[in-house]
Structures are given as C-alpha cells and as structure tokens.
Structure 1
Amino acid sequence: MGMDFVFTVEVVGIALGVIGLILTIVVCALPTWIEITIIEANVTTTEVVTYGLWMSCVAQGTGQTQCEVYNSMWYPARAMFPTAIILGVLGVTISMVVAKCTNCIKDETSQTKLIIIAGIIFILAGILILITLFMVTITVQINYFTQSKGNFELGNSLYFGWVAAALLLIGGFILCINVGVFGWMMGIFGWIVSLVPCCISVLFILDPYRDTWTFLMTTSISSILGALGVMGSIFGTRCCNCIKSNRTRVKARFIVGIFFILAGILQFTTVFLNYYLTHTFPEYRRGFLIFFAEHSRWAGSMLLIGGTILCCSTLKKKPDSTTTKSISH
C-alpha cells in the first residue's frame, strides 16, 4: 500500500510537470500577453492590438488581422522563458527515465537522487516563469502601455503563464516531498528568490537617498542567513552523507530551520519598510519598489515555510530503545 501511494504521488508530480511544460510552450508562442483596444467613432476602424514576446498583431474591426515580429523591450523575458522551457524538457526527461513505472534505473538510491534533481529543475523553471511574468506585468503597467491611448488589459497568455508556473512548482514540490526534502527545497529556493531584492537594493544605494541603506542592510543580512541555511542544507542531508550521526543531523536540521526563519522575517521586514518609505522616493523609482516588494514577499513566504517544516520535523519522537527491544523479544 505504501509503495502504491509513493508511485501515485510520483506520477502526479510528473504529470503536473508535463502539463506545465506544454502550457509554457504555448504561452511563449502566443502573441496575447498584452491587449490594447483602440475604440474609434466608426466601428470598422476599431483596432485590438496584442503583444507577445516575439510578435505583435493588429485585429481590425473589419475582421482582418496582421502580425509581425517586432523589437520587444522584454529582452530578459526572451531569455528566461526559453530557458524555462529547456529546464522543463530536461526535468520531464529525467523524471520519466527514473520513474518507478519505467524501471530504467534499478538502484533506489540513484532513483531518489535523480527524482530530487527533476523536482529541483521543475521548481527552477517555475521560478523563472514567475520572475518573467512579474517583470513584464510591472514594467508594462508602470512605464509603457499605461501612456498609450485605448483600453489596456493583460492578455490571456499571462494568466496561462501563472497556471503553468503553478503546475511546475507544485509538480516539483511533490517530487521533492515524495523523497522527504520539501523543507530543504522551500528554504533553498526562498533564498534564491531573496537574492533579487538584494541586487535591487544594491542598485538603489547608488541613489543619494539615505533610506536605501536600510534596504541594503536588511536584505544583505537575510541573504547571508539564507546562504548559511543553504550550506547547512547541502551538508546535512542524508544523500550527501557528510554527517554520519543521526543525532547531529537532526541538530543541524533545526539550526538550518532557524536560519531560514530569521531570513524570512527579515524579508518581510523589508516589505514593511518598502511601504513605509515609498513616499520618500521619486515616482519614476516606485516601480522598482513594487518589484522589490513582490520578490521579498515570495522569498519570505518560502523561507518561513521551509524553516518551520525543518524545525517541526526535529520534534518527532522516536520510539524508546527499551520498548523496541521488548517488542523484538
């Protein structure tokens, strides 16, 4: 029964990753990321302009549609989205090869390690998609399309992109949960996301604003604590075998959880500081603050969840040795 449950969970994680990959490819190809409806007095002259990563289309009221490749301002998005697709393909390939239903790899230890790698790749792909969607949405809303005439709307592709990212993240987490490393993964990826606000605060420090030092201090300390937690995660897992004693491994897990929790608290502190100090920055810089706050919220949530799971996992009581001896006799 236990093996059937593990097999089912594994299949669900792989299936979510496959569906997320297919949606990612569709979203990357569709030119419906942004929609602008230009309404004129004459219905036949009304136009709907849609923008994607690679091309823009104009649908006229007469029913004619013209599409052309254009020089997009989303150059980072054009790099990150194909990278997410490549990671998704790699994750699907590895997960299918090492799945228990294929029996391509007989060794259970090797299967476990490769399943973890596949889950990590799915999560990385999902994070890349989320960063791309945040970047495109915030940049467009603040800097570009809000100044154009017509009704501005986010296109359907962005919503499908959120779904694709969610499926990849959930599929990756399920694969990692299946082998018992969910707390480690949440903390590690929370630290990776927290590096984005840290880099933004470094850019802000170039401005002559005294309050930017507060952002730099909190994000830097959070990144250092997260890095300590990541190093402890790497050396404290069973697959690494750097720590032989089970008792020492439990203590290391608890310390890593505390590091992640402290880093998460500092991330949320930067979010509160962000809202408190936003009015002190010029209007053209507030878009960066919104981008900063979104990443800090995501990073803080993952760090807190991962740290809490790791700390709670150390509270499991093991059966007393005398009880086990009596049962064995």
Structure 2
Amino acid sequence: MGMDIMKMVEVVGIALGVIGLILTIVVCALPTWIVTTFIADNSANTEVVLYGLWMSCVTQGTGKTQCEVYNYRGYWKYDLQLARAMILTAIILGVLGVMVSMVGAKSTNCIKDKTSQAKLIIIAGILFILAGILILITVSWVAIFIIFGMRIKEKPELGASLYIGWVAASLLLIGGVILCITVGVFGWMMGIFGWVVSLVPSALSILLPFRHYPEPHYGDMWKVLMTTSISSILGALGVMGSIFGTRCCNCIKSNRIRVKARFTVGIFFILAGILQLTTLFLVVHYLRTDLHLQLYPFVLFTQHDLVILAEVCRWSASMLLIGGTILCCCIFKRNQPDSTTTTSTSR
C-alpha cells in the first residue's frame, strides 16, 4: 500500500513537470511578454503592440493584426538574447527531466534496480528545479524591467506570457521537489541549494569593497566576509557528506552509520544557516541604525547592494535550516536493522 502511494506521488511530480514544460514552450512561442497601447484620437488608429522573444505584433483598432520577426528595435533589445538563452535552456532541462523521469519511474519498470531508479528520479527532480529557477528568474527580470526600467510615454503592461511563465515555474519547482521527496533526499537538496545560494553573499562581501573604492561606507564588511566564508566552508562540508551519505549512492552500507552521517550533515547545514542569519542581522542592524545612510543620499547604491546581500542571506539561511532540520530529524525515526547484521544473520 505504501509503495502504491509513493508511485502515485511520483506520477504527480512527473505530471506537474510535464505540464510546466508545455507551458514553458507556450511562453517561449507567444509574443505577449510586453503589451503597449498607443491611444489616438480616433479609435480606428489605436494600436496595441505586443512584444515577445521572437516577434512583435501590432493590432490596430480595426481588428487587423500584423506580426513580424524581431528586428532588435524593441524596448528590451539588450536583454533579448539573454532571455532567449535562459528560456531555451529551461526547455532543454525540462525535456531532459521528463525523459529521465519516464525511464526512472517505478510505474514504467524500464529499470528494475531500485538504486538506479532512485538516482534517475533525483536527477529528474534536479533538472525540473533548475528549469523552474531559470524561468522564474527570466519572467521576474522582465517584469521588473517593465515596471521600473521603461521610461516611455505609453506605459507598458505585463503580458500574459509572464503570468503563464510564473505558473510554469511553480509547477516545475513543485514537481521537482515532489520527486526529491519520494526518494527521501529533500533535506539533502535543500541544504545543497542553500549552500549554492550562500556563495553569493561571500562573493558580494569580497567585491563590494572594490566596487565602492577607496572604501565602502559599511566599515564592518570584514565581519560579513568572516561569517559568510565560515558558512560556505560548513556548507561545503555538508555537501561532501551528502555525496557519501545518501542511500542511493551506496557508499555506506550500514544503516546506522548512514543515519549518523545524515545527522552530522544536518548539523553542518544548520550551523551554516545560523551564520547566514548572523550576516543578515548585521546588515539589517546597520541599515536601520547608521546615520551616514540618512544624512548622505549619494550612498544609496551602497544601501541597495547591502539590501541584495541581506535578501540572499535570508533565502540561503531558510534553505540551509530547513534542509539541516529535516536531516537531523532522521535520528528520531525507528531504528532500522543494520544491513550488514541482517546479511550475516541470514547466512
């Protein structure tokens, strides 16, 4: 009965990934990313211009629509190539995720070995999550550009493709997370992704002093560098332990040692998350109490950089703490018989 439920959950994760992939292809094809209306005195001369990744369409007040291939004379021509590359990469990752998930699914029985099935499902979940992240970044980036970046007389609006893109990203992310949960590696995945995100504050704490030469207005940047560096090192130790401690890797045969390794990795992730929270508190305290930011408006660029650093620390700490807590909770589960002991007694 339990195996049937896991198969159903796995099918749900794959189905969400497939639907998300289809919506991503639709988003890539539709020319409805940016909508701009040119209102004239005569309703017949009113035009609605639609911009997409590959073409732009003009709909006149008479109902006539004319589309042409993009000629790089749009509002966001300098972002067009990067948006195309990210969406196409997301589609490729989604297609690979669907193919791998179909092969590794328990319901298809393409592979009999359970360990190989688990590995393929993990790979499919990671591919779905990466595709969802790429789509989320792309559509959010274009939406921010439309809201804050376009300074034209006719106010542009968010197109339907952006909303469909957010739905597609959500489905891919949920499908990938479900696939990782069915294999029992959700805690590992949250910790690993949290560690990857934690590398961004470390890089920012190194680059900000050079960006605001001769010295940043935030004089305690060395504290941020110290906490983020130690957090990255602890996260790296957790990732190394994750490679050897998962059941699908079979690097550790004993269930008891595997549980201990999982608990140790969880401690590393939790400590890394606490250090990320410490960095967050340091930056937030500075932004709220420093008078230099209030007296001199020209340091707003420094403030924006610190806000970005604090927001990244927030997300990193959340993922590290959630992943570490899930891994540490495995110690409270019912003790499973040791695989080596079971094998010896059976003989």
TM-score (norm 2): 0.80
Structure 1 Cα separation of the partners of residues 199 and 61 of structure 2: 47
Paired residue secondary structure (2:57): strand
Structure 1 Cα separation of the partners of residues 108 and 201 of structure 2: 42
Q: Name the structure 2 match of 1:194.
A: 198
Does structure 1 residue 302 correspond to structure 2 residue 319?
Answer: yes
Structure 1 Cα separation of the partners of residues 2 and 245 of structure 2: 26
1:59 counterpart letter in structure 2: T
**Structure number with bigger Rg:** 2
Is contact 2:217-2:302 (8 Å) kept? no
Q: Name the structure 2 match of 1:69.
A: 70
| Shift in Å, 1:109 | 1.8
Q: Name the structure 1 match of 2:345.
A: none
Which stretch of structure 1 is more off in the superposition, 40-49 or 151-160?
40-49
Q: Name the structure 2 match of 1:183.
A: 187
Q: Name the structure 2 match of 1:27.
A: 27
Root mean square deviation, CA, Å: 3.0
Structure 2 Cα separation of the partners of residues 141 and 289 of structure 1: 22
Paired residue secondary structure (2:37): strand
Structure 1 Cα separation of the partners of residues 285 and 27 of structure 2: 33
Paired residue secondary structure (1:35): strand
Please, which runs of 5 or more residues in structure 1 have no aligned partner? 322-329
Pairing 1:32-111 to 2, within 5 Å after superposition: 32-67=32-67, 68-71=69-72, 72-74=77-79, 75-111=81-117
Tell me the alpha carbon deviations over residues 208-254 of structure 1, each in whole angstroms, 9 at most, x when there is no partner.
22426565554444333322221111121122233344333323222
Q: Name the structure 1 match of 2:342.
A: none
Is contact 1:134-1:291 (8 Å) kept? no
Is contact 1:37-1:152 (8 Å) kept? yes
Is contact 2:146-2:158 (8 Å) kept? no
Task: Label 1:130 to 1:139 Cα distance change in 2 as closer, same or farther (>3 A).
Answer: same
Q: Name the structure 1 match of 2:269.
A: 260
Is contact 1:28-1:81 (8 Å) kept? yes
Match of 2:251 among 217, 228, 242: 242
Task: Label 1:151 to 1:256 Cα distance change in 2 as closer, same or farther (>3 A).
Answer: same
TM-score (norm 1): 0.83
Paired residue secondary structure (1:48): strand
Which stretch of structure 1 is more off in the superposition, 120-129 or 291-300?
291-300
Tell me the alpha carbon deviations over residues 256-275 of structure 1, each in whole angstroms, 9 at most, x when there is no partner.
22222333344455555269
Structure 1 Cα separation of the partners of residues 109 and 336 of structure 2: 35
Is contact 2:273-2:320 (8 Å) kept? yes
Please, which runs of 5 or more residues in structure 2 have no aligned partner? 339-347
Structure 2 Cα separation of the partners of residues 283 and 8 of structure 1: 52
Paired residue secondary structure (1:102): coil
2:287 counterpart letter in structure 1: L
Task: Label 1:277 to 1:48 Cα distance change in 2 as closer, same or farther (>3 A).
Answer: farther
Paired residue secondary structure (2:269): helix
1:177 counterpart letter in structure 2: I
Identity of aligned residues (%): 68
Task: Label 1:169 to 1:41 Cα distance change in 2 as closer, same or farther (>3 A).
Answer: same
Task: Label 1:295 to 1:84 Cα distance change in 2 as closer, same or farther (>3 A).
Answer: farther
Is contact 1:205-1:213 (8 Å) kept? no
